[in-house]
Amino acid sequence: MLRTALTLRAPARSFALAKLGSRLPSALHPPLRSPLLSRFKQPQNQVRHQSSGQGGSASSDTVVLGLVSANVLVTIGWMKAQTSSARHPTQLPMKLMLTHFTTSTQHLKEGRYYTLLTAMFSQASLGHLGANMLGLYFFGREISHVLGPRRFLGLYLVGGVLSSAAAVLEQHLSGRLTFNLGASGAVNAITAMSVLLFPHGTLLLFGIVPMPAWLGGSMFIFKDAYSFATDKQDGIGHVAHLSGALVGGLYFYYLRRRAIRNFPFGRF
């Protein structure tokens, strides 16, 4: 979630509590290392070909845990900066974090384009970190096993960078100068892919209320779309959420189109 205020807490994401029970359609022919797909059989030469194309021996779980660790480390940096700012008259630690781990129109005007990437590893609070990392861990492990580590990492990073860019563009068009940060754009890209792959899986809303994944996903999309359309100023980057989900959706349909073309007898 790209935030426009550093002090506002993010609401917990019920997506992080989802349990996915659907089967991946065979048209995509994903690697057999996915625990969801152990019932599917593929020719051995096809499995070797896919493994080499997805990053060799790289572990999907290692990629997910590496991303979680990076977010935790940057958040610790924010906590230390906030603590030490009171002891530094120049507030140098906080200035360093704001300069290099948030993004805005001012950042891009000054040539710090890399902040479109680094800002997605910053979280505004421990609650913000926990909500995003739960979503990344639970959805990320499923999707990384399906896509493989390279494609998963690419989807996560592209979703995060493009959602950062969308937040900055919104800021430019609105004339507001704010600092944007957070991983929710990237997490929403992964979540959208998961919901589209497993639309009849079960989401537990707030960990209690079960509902189909397609319904839960639609509700969150509608909430962000409504908040964006009404210009709700709640410190949450709704346009970043929507942009991340759009990236995940477009990548899903790209893979679907390619799968149908390569495997015309498969069903999706």
Q: Do 224 and 241 touch, CB atoms closer than 8 A?
A: yes
> What are the CA-CA distances from residue 33 to residues 37, 141, 265 (Å)?
8, 12, 23
Cα distance between residue 246 and residue 159, in whole Å: 8
Sorted by sequence, the CB contacts under 8 Å of residue 247 that are 6+ apart come out as 155, 158, 159, 162, 163, 189, 192
CA dihedral (32, 34, 36, 40) in degrees, to 10, reads: 0
Catalytic positions, written as ranges: 184, 241
150-156 CB contacts, 8 Å cutoff, 24+ apart: 150/54, 150/55, 150/58, 151/54, 152/60, 152/63, 152/64, 152/190, 153/63, 153/67, 155/189, 155/190, 155/193, 155/247, 155/248, 155/251, 156/67, 156/186, 156/189, 156/190
Cα distance between residue 56 and residue 82, in whole Å: 41
HSE value, Cβ hemisphere, 13 Å, CA-based, for 268 = 19
